[in-house]
Amino acid sequence: MIRRLPKVELHLHLEGSVQPELALALARRRGVALPGVEHGLEGVRREYARPFKTFREFVRLYVAVSSCLQEPEDFAEVTVALARSLAEQQVRYAEVTFTPMTHVSQGIPAEIITHGLNEGRVRAREEHGVELAWVFDIVRCFVDQARPTLQLALQERERGVIGLGFAGPEQPRWPYEPFAAVFAEARAEGLRALPHAGEGMGPESIRGALEVLGAERIGHGVRCVEDPELVALLRARRVPLEVCPTSNVATGVVPSLERHPLPKLLAAGLEVSLASDDPPMFGTTLTDEYLRCAGAFGWSPGQVLDLAAAAVEHSFMPEDAKAALLEEQRRVATGAPS
């Protein structure tokens, strides 16, 4: 049932979705020193499969893959490849995080990026039937990139940008306050505030995302379990968490899937959806997240359906599309005729 179930993906990075084969092709095309490239595809695959010991090691691979994207066709190609993979998993709609200033700061003009993303998004819909929305992401250690990211997001609103993300090393030295004005402006303009928080740091960071940035959903947020008052607050405000279990194991946020706090989050009545984050870099897919969690936590088909429906509810799809997808999920899950 999990494989056939129509799905929505809410926490997925475009640059982190590039498969090793495509990363190698792009690296060769653009002359980029991707880790492992000297040993060909096997070398790149080994780098992807290497368990990340630190967030910094993960970022090294992520940045190297990002720097392979240089021309409009590169951005389009990775977008279409992502859509193909999503379509194979019955993902109908995805809110995809993309970090424009990473590329702009390496000398890629914003027009090249947006041209490629838009072409990719149109082809995703036409060739694979997958609807993509963009979340333009700000890296928390680069304060001066916040306003240009907002400007680009506003400019591209008609081409699928729905919100601002916020990611990078979650550490006390990179506080939320310098970003408050940009997020307030984004929200006033109707963009969604969709920061990562509660992954590298604990409850105080989630509170910062809520109070300083006005977060409407939290990327990860799993460490809220350390603070019952925060759990109560998230429940009262119905702030959804985008939970990426395999990612959390890979980056050492939790020691193992079996010890992941996901069952606790659900038992506490929090709004939760499952997501894959950077799937090939963490050796997963959205389908795998459902399969692994259903196995580890003994979920019934009804519980799987509830989680898949939660992703639809927490998304920013148009209401009529949400209703149609929820109905389709119910039909597939119950085996009812269409």
User: Catalytic positions, please?
Assistant: 199
Shortest approach of Zn ion to residue 188 CB, angstroms?
Answer: 25
Q: Degrees (nearest 5) of the Cα angle 288, 198, 57?
A: 65
Q: How many other CB atoms sit within 10 Å of the CB of residue 323?
A: 12
Shortest approach of Zn ion to residue 279 CB, angstroms?
Answer: 11
- The burial class, CB within 10 Å (0-12 / 13-18 / 19+), for 325 is buried
Q: What is the CA radius of gyration of the chain?
A: 19
Closest to Zn ion by CB, 160 or 221: 221
Interacting residues with Zn ion (CB under 5 A): 277
Closest to Zn ion by CB, 43 or 252: 252
3-state secondary structure of 137: strand
Are residues 293 and 257 in contact, defined by beta-carbon separation less than 8 angstroms? yes
Shortest approach of Zn ion to residue 16 CB, angstroms?
Answer: 7
Task: Determine the Cα–Cα distance for residues 275 and 98; give it in Å rounded to an integer.
Answer: 15
Task: Determine the Cα–Cα distance for residues 178 and 180; give it in Å rounded to an integer.
Answer: 6
Shortest approach of Zn ion to residue 219 CB, angstroms?
Answer: 5
- DSSP assignment, residue 310? H
Task: Determine the Cα–Cα distance for residues 34 and 45; give it in Å rounded to an integer.
Answer: 11
- Element (DSSP H or E) covering residue 162: strand 161-167
- Do β-strands 7-13 and 218-220 pair in parallel, antiparallel, or remain unpaired? unpaired
Are residues 313 and 81 in contact, defined by beta-carbon separation less than 8 angstroms? no
For 165, list phi and psi in degrees, rounded to 5: -100, 175
Are residues 127 and 85 in contact, defined by beta-carbon separation less than 8 angstroms? no
Q: Which residue is nearest to Zn ion (CB)?
A: 277
Residues in the chain: 338
Closest to Zn ion by CB, 98 or 183: 98
CA distances from 167 to 33, 191, 243 (A): 24, 17, 15
- The burial class, CB within 10 Å (0-12 / 13-18 / 19+), for 236 is exposed
